[in-house]
Amino acid sequence: MTPELLYAEAEKLARSSYLLKATGSKSKLAAVWHASEEVEVDGEVYFHCLSVDTAWLPKKLNPGMGCLSLYLDEESYCLGIVRLEQGRRLEHFKAARALYAHQARSLPPLEAIMRFGSARVEEWLDCIGSSRTDQYAPNTTEAQDYIQLWLKEHPLYQDDIFAVIGGWHFPWGYGDWGELLEHELMFWTLEDAEPWFEVWQAQNEFQVLYRVT
């Protein structure tokens, strides 16, 4: 197995995503960043981080419902809540920075290739003493070379992206990458990191995860 063959496997597993940037076509207005908005929950005040028009979110969330918004506790900057604000439009948020959607290809991390790749991948894993369900990627030369190729294209390492809608989730090293395959990644923030914030849908509920290195 070579890094090039692993990359070919990755291309078969690539997912569609949207990169949210401060520039773009007006018809691609998809989100707003840091509005002058706050909400109170159980006596705690949360401040606005990001709102995304539901029309741009993965299909499991019905389009045209309004906005899915992430609010953060600015004191600790580690706590977040999600609100599905039905009927609310992006233009209702004041003093916000408009963000525009740019369609992109989301290549999978090596963990996804291990789990969902072809029989050729399974043969390679068997040869190096690994398996599809291993929690972490193997530390072999070809594996590390693929990871470097993957990181070169990853939005985490680009400068002009505020957030990403959908796509593959990042293997942070918390040990929960495989568990999260059962859920749907709505969006995750890149600007003002770290921490990075991920918003997930698990059935009819939303969950916020914060990530630090």
**Is residue 74's pLDDT more than 90?**
no
Contacts with 63 (C-beta within 8 Å, 6 or more apart), sequence order? 54, 55, 57
For residue 34, pLDDT beyond 90: yes
* Residue 2 clears pLDDT 90, i.e. is over it: no
For the chain, domains (ranges, CATH) are 3-206 (2.30.320)
Q: Is the model more confident about 75 or about 158?
A: 158
User: For residue 60, is pLDDT > 70?
Assistant: no
Cα three-residue angle 87-188-113, rounded to 5 degrees:
125
- Mean pLDDT for all residues in the chain: 90
Q: Give rounded-to-5 percent helix, strand, coil for the chain.
A: 25, 35, 40
Is residue 10 predicted with pLDDT exceeding 80? yes
Q: Kindly report the pTM of this predicted structure.
A: 0.91
Q: Is 170 left (phi over 0), alpha (psi -120 to 50) or beta?
A: beta
Is 105:17 a contact under the CB 8 Å cutoff?
yes
By C-alpha distance, which of 112, 136, 138 is closest to 127?
138
52 — pLDDT class (breaks 50, 70, 90): very high
Question: What is the band of 77 on the pLDDT scale with cuts at 50, 70, 90?
Answer: low
pLDDT recorded at residue 196: 94
Average pLDDT over residues 184-212: 91
Distances (CA, A) of 3 to 148, 156, 191: 9, 21, 30
pLDDT digits (tens, 9 = 90+) for 98-157: 999 999 999 999 999 999 989 999 898 888 888 888 777 778 888 899 999 999 999 999
Give the rounded percent of residues in the chain with a pLDDT score beyond 70.
96
